[in-house]
């Protein structure tokens, strides 16, 4: 494809080994004008709210009960342990960002309860310990033992990386050892109904170098769809045909994303070409036929997941927040696997739109589902009985630093643009890159190179798929005809202390259209600027928006509003407002002319942070497709049927 007038080569997997490694969150410090306030809110409000809900709902005390520290019965849903683990993972990232002795002591107290709840053989699941001790491992399809274990492994790895403390990591390894003693090719055949342990075992392997954990992750992947090993759970759990034969995404969206994230990890480490080819097929199916413009996935509430190609309703879109997080996790791993910027493009799309929409600016209100249109009745909530989305957000957002950079040998990849300082390993030492930018509102990115000596490396800057024009300069001099490869412009040179790079990405307002088979979006347009998808919200547009149309060719401007929604770039233009239709007894008549009216569009991720009201992402281009506002309809006069 063409980006900025230069040919971008297609992705080629390096058969000699995994081409990229992510620079971990521990090596990146964020001080960005867009993200730093959100991370501050996450630390001060979201984390505290999540811990409080886990306390109030008995999620934390379940561990104390299972450990014999207090008396009582299990409280809540059988998978509630996972929420505690996810909040602990978020706390670990926060402690890296800002070490807080009070928070650390509180977390250590929870970890002590978890350690007390672990049984002598390593088993740890408070539901089964307290409620059904005789039924362990008897309902892998539904009861989430392995899913909960996976989230515990992730929390343990994060806390160890952030603090160096091993208590939770040791608990995780003991449990992983028990699971490994039960499941495997020459042991019991089985797998979790809800995937998660696959990717978590890879993380545990990477921090411990214990190959049994990687092999166990591979075993669970190989078991999926294998009717010889177990009774199949069906496509809801991606367990309908063998994993290497799958070509279309199916079933529960979050389960699918967690599974394919684990598959990507295993494929990257084992160079399993069949898994790589399968994921390429699945990725094309998702991104070309089943993904919302916001990066959200899973249109159906019935299965919290996928249906058929091009089924992307707006008002009834499920698009679970956890699924958007899963899209970010999976595409991050595919980027590492293929060293191709198109996967980082999808990560960015989900990040700035369908993922970030899941949390309010207050940090304590959340969307479980993320429709692309509303009549004013869909609002964030402080908590959910199934609390996966709030607890997922509290762990993903502070881990953002781990998605910014990747490296391989003397190649440094910049995947996300935000103010930060990152230390990136090289083949012979390391280099510090310092980014300054007003992204996503502006496309100018300044990168300062800090090195203790001259360093020869290739700096690869992602040129987003939405960008058709850009310039790049080194030390103030424009680089003409800079080579580009796989979605990255490549600057390969010997870098000196104090060198600087400026990448300037053009950010015009783009009119985006859906494939004609997406029936709800026919005749409609969506607006995007940079990575940000916009929507019309009633509070900015006279109390309603579904009666508006924006004709082709309408000039649309962008303006930064420091006083709005914490500082935001809005879009402004002229719409046509459909008017009342007075039919009386007429069968045919001329339609009243639409009236021109100004409109304002705001980022989709920020809707429902103010007064409630209508919202639309896909806007009619003709007033004939717009709605007549209910309070403007004039009822037909007289008559009753007989």
Asked if 529 and 602 touch (Cβ cutoff 8 Å), the reply is: no
Q: DSSP string spanning 116-179?
A: HHS-TTS---HHHHHT-GGGTTS-TTTS-HHHHHHHHHHHHHHHHHHH---HHHHHHHHHHHHH
Asked if 239 and 225 touch (Cβ cutoff 8 Å), the reply is: yes
Asked if 65 and 71 touch (Cβ cutoff 8 Å), the reply is: yes
My answer on whether omega of the bond before 417 falls inside 30° of 0, hence cis, is no
DSSP at 540 = G
User: Cα 236 to the chain's mean position, in Å?
Assistant: 21
> Residue 229: which residues within 8 A CB-CB, separation 6 or more?
189, 190, 191, 223
* Catalytic (active-site) positions: 304, 388
> Residue 57: which residues within 8 A CB-CB, separation 6 or more?
75, 76, 80, 387
Residue 299: closest CA among 309, 288, 313: 313
* Sign, CA torsion 147/149/150/152: positive
- Phi-psi sector, 298: left (phi>0), alpha (psi -120 to 50), beta: left
Residue 286: closest CA among 314, 313, 256: 256
Calpha distance 229→227 (Å, rounded): 5
Calpha distance 482→489 (Å, rounded): 6
Residue 610: closest CA among 556, 559, 535, 560: 535
> Residue 175: which residues within 8 A CB-CB, separation 6 or more?
118, 122, 123, 124, 149, 152, 153
């Amino acid at each position: 494809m063409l980006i900025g007038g230069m040919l971008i080569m297609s992705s080629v997997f390096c058969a000699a080994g995994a081409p990229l490694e992510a620079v971990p969150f521990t090596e990146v410090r964020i001080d960005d004008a867009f993200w730093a306030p959100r991370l501050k809110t996450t630390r001060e409000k979201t984390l505290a709210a999540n811990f409080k809900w886990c306390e109030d709902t008995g999620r934390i005390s379940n561990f104390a009960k299972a450990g014999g520290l207090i008396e009582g019965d299990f409280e809540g849903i059988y998978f509630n342990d996972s929420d505690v683990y996810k909040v602990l993972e978020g706390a670990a990232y926060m402690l890296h960002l800002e070490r807080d002795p009070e928070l650390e002591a509180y977390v250590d107290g929870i970890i002590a309860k978890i350690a007390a709840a672990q049984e002598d053989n390593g088993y740890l699941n408070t539901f089964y310990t307290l409620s059904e001790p005789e039924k362990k491992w008897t309902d892998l399809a539904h009861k989430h033992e392995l899913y909960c274990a996976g989230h515990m492994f992730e929390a343990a790895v994060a806390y160890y990386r952030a603090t160096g403390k091993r208590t939770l990591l040791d608990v995780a390894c003991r449990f992983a050892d028990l699971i490994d003693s039960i499941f495997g090719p020459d042991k019991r055949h089985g797998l979790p109904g809800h995937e998660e342990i696959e990717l978590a075992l890879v993380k545990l392997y990477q921090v411990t170098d214990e190959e049994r954990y990687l092999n166990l992750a591979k075993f669970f992947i190989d078991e999926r769809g294998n009717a010889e090993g177990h009774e199949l759970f069906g496509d809801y759990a991606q367990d309908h045909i063998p994993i290497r034969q799958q070509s279309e995404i199916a079933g529960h969206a979050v389960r699918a994303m967690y599974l394919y994230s684990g598959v990507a990890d295993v494929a990257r480490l084992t160079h399993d070409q069949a898994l790589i080819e399968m994921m390429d097929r699945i990725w094309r199916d998702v991104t070309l036929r089943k993904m919302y413009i916001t990066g959200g996935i899973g249109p159906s509430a019935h299965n919290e997941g996928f249906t058929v190609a091009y089924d992307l309703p707006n008002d009834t879109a499920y698009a679970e927040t956890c699924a958007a997080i899963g899209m970010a996790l999976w595409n991050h791993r595919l980027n590492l696997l293929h060293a191709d910027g198109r996967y980082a493009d999808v990560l960015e799309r989900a990040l700035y739109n369908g993922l970030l929409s899941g949390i309010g600016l207050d940090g304590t209100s959340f969307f479980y589902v993320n429709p692309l249109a509303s009549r004013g009745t869909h609002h964030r909530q402080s908590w959910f009985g199934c609390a996966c989305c709030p607890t997922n957000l509290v762990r993903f957002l502070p881990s953002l630093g781990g998605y910014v950079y990747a490296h391989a040998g003397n190649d440094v990849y910049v995947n996300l643009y935000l103010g930060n300082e990152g230390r990136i390993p090289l083949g012979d030492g390391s280099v510090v890159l310092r980014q300054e930018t007003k992204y996503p509102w502006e496309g100018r990115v300044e990168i300062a190179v800090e090195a203790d000596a001259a360093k020869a490396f290739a700096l690869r800057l992602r040129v987003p798929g939405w960008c058709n024009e850009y310039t790049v300069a080194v030390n103030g001099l424009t680089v003409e005809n800079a080579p580009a490869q796989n979605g990255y412009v490549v600057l390969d040179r010997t870098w000196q202390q104090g060198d600087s790079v400026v990448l300037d990405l053009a950010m015009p307002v783009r009119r985006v259209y859906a494939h004609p088979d997406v029936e709800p979006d026919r005749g409609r347009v969506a607006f995007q600027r940079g990575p940000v998808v916009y929507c019309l919200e009633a509070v900015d547009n006279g109390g309603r928006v579904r009666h508006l149309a924006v004709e082709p060719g309408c000039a649309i401007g962008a303006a930064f509003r420091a006083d709005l929604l914490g500082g935001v770039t809005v879009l402004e233009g002229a719409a046509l407002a459909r008017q009342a239709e007075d039919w009386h007894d007429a069968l045919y008549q001329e339609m009243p002319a639409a009236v021109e009216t100004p409109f304002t569009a705001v980022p989709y991720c920020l809707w429902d942070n103010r007064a409630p009201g209508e919202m639309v992402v896909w806007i009619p281009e003709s007033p004939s497709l717009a709605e007549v506002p209910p309070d403007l309809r004039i009822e037909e006069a007289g008559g009753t049927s007989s």
